[in-house]
Amino acid sequence: MLVRREQPLHSHLCLTRWSLSLLSHTPLRFHSPHPPRGPPRHRTPLAPSARAGWVPALTAAQRAGRGRRQAVPAAARRGAAPQSGGWGWGSGAALDMAAGGSSGGAGEQRPYELVVFGASGFTGQFVVEEVARAASSGELRGALRWAVAGRSRTKLQEVLEQAAERLGKAALGPEVGVLLCDVGDPGSLAAMARQTRLVLNCVGPYRFFGEPVVKACVENGASCIDISGEPQFLEGMYLKYNEKAAEKGVYVIGSCGFDSIPADMGVLYTRDKLKGTLTAVESFLNVKSGPEGACIHDGTWKSAVYGLADQDNLKKLRKKIGYAPVPVVGAKLKRRGFVFYSQEFKQYAIPFMGSDVSVVKRSQRYLHTQLQETPVQYGAYVNIGGLSSVVKLMIAGILFLLLVKFSFGRKLLTKYPEFFSAGRFTKKGPTQKQMDETSFTMTFFGEGYSEGQNPANGKPNVKICTQVKGPEPGYVATPIAMVQAALALLEDTAYLPKQGGVYSPGAAFSKTKLIERLNSRGVEFSVISQPEV
């Protein structure tokens, strides 16, 4: 009889996304990278027809027969309702399924409800599988029309075949299309955006390749979500496109993966379960892996390297945005030290410098200023194990910080990720067994004031403990979170913010059924201890 041996994070992830993000003050993101080979304009151009906006679209039947490419009808590209049967959500139903209800024009029908862009990338392939699973679950309102998009038709077809095989199907249905486009070709991105209500952008690092997708979506009336954990990109998109997205009635929502849906929605879940007024929350992340340890695709490593090298610009960006300060309600949450011993978990912990804190703060600012809800203070930490783990982390961090400050050092770090991460970051990514044996738990400790108690007077007198737990964070939980966020955007339109714009997950989904959707797919929210006075 084999007994699974779960090992703490520090045993196998000494330079993983969690530890590096703490050292770099820059969050890392599990994404499907197209490794930067210079600015996007240096990427391989498409054929002239693609640059003119023509995007080949193939159905499953055409792919099976390897038929000729057929262009999407001009009327469909322009957003006009096609004839005979329509492209709508369900069987010809004239439903306005625009994300937010107005994307691209009221009542407009587009060929697809959603498109997975970067579908053949490492994370993109898992997102495709998750979309295919959702489409075949029978839990949606009707048949989900969706497509995959990327540079290589052959690779996209392989991803669809792989997803069908993993779901036990001979092939995916004819409602699945294939679109060819390139992040370095604005015309092809615009053509993709015109054909869908929503783009799931899996192409990173987002600081290099994210903005062209956002720009194409906003200009062409499509909503967009991504799985970025890069604050400079997320907040830069808010500065540049919030007003334009509002005018178009579309939603741009970042951090819809492990960064930062568990944290952002976890704080809101804790607030809703407390009988009283929640004023402060601390979260502690635990990641467990099996005997083979954990491994991460090197795209996350690249995000760390480039993010740290450019971290000084984040403060300038925030000053330019001019955020309204978030008021402190109740007792001020005290910051813990850089390294401290957690009595709750009987091990050492350090502050989590990923995107969670900044994303949660953006959500709380929106909920306070727009909905007049009490803002919640938030602190995020990650458990790292014993004292030896602290020493290893410090040594690794010093080496990383020294190299990342110089161009030559950054080249070494990105060229040899396996060497500098002791094999924890690889160009191949984790094996299926490694993913199957890895899980995460995020525990939230909240405090506040009981009903009738004024937070302005006295100390907090009520506490609550909640938890979010799920499968492997990067390539299992992240696709689940992204796809369920997409479905909430498409189906829970009445509960989204009334105005389009650039939002954090908590701001966009606080009134939707996203948490229920996540629970049904194994990312579980629960109360560990009831509110105790």
Give the pLDDT band of residue 416 (cuts 50, 70, 90): confident
Check whether 448 has a pLDDT greater than 60: yes
Contact predicate 300/17, CB 8 Å: yes
Q: What is the mean pLDDT of the chain?
A: 81
Give residues with Cβ within 8 angstroms of 279, minimum separation 6: 329, 330, 331, 374, 376, 377, 447, 448, 449, 455, 460
Structure tokens at 26: 């820059």
Higher pLDDT, residue 2 or 428: 428
> Taking Cα atoms as reference points, which of 347, 352, 318, 348 lies closest to residue 335?
352
Q: Give the pLDDT band (50/70/90) at residue 443.
A: very high
How far apart (Å, rounded) are the C-alpha atoms in residues 211 and 473? 25
CB 508 within 8 A of CB 371: no
What DSSP string describes 39-62? SGGGSPP--HHHHTT--BEE-HHH
Least confident stretch, 137-141, 229-233, 453-457: 137-141
Residues paired with 300 in a beta bridge = none
Q: What is the identity of the amino acid at 90? A: G
pLDDT digits (tens, 9 = 90+) for 164-193: 999 999 889 787 999 999 999 999 999 999
The reported pLDDT for the residue numbered 532 is 63
What is the sign of the dihedral through the CA atoms of 318, 319, 324 and 326?
A: positive
User: Distances in Å between the alpha carbon of 197 and those of 52, 102, 146, 185, 528?
Assistant: 21, 10, 10, 20, 38
pLDDT tens-digit map of 384-405: 999 888 888 788 778 877 887 7
Query: What are the residues facing 177 on neighbouring strands?
Result: 147
pLDDT at residue 533 in the model:
53
Q: How far is 413 from 373, CA to CA, in rounded Å? A: 44
Checking if the pLDDT of 374 tops 50, the result is yes
Superfamily of domain 112-253, CATH level 4? NAD(P)-binding Rossmann-like Domain (3.40.50.720)
Q: pLDDT tens-digit profile of 196-223?
A: 999 999 998 899 999 999 999 999 999 9
Tens-digit pLDDT profile for residues 299-355: 666 766 776 666 778 889 999 999 989 999 999 999 999 899 999 999 999 999 789
Tokens 């060929």 locate to: 111
Q: What's the rounded mean pLDDT across residues 150-166? A: 96
* Residue 95 or residue 491, greater confidence: 491
Q: What whole-number distance in Å separates Cα of residue 467 and Cα of residue 176?
A: 36
101 compared with 507, residue with greater pLDDT = 507
Give me the pLDDT at residue 333, please.
96
Q: Tokens 């020294």 map to which residue?
A: 402
Give me the pLDDT at residue 331, please: 94
Q: Sketch the domain layout of the chain as residue ranges.
A: 112-253, 261-532
**Of 139-148, 296-305, 360-369, minimum mean pLDDT range:** 296-305
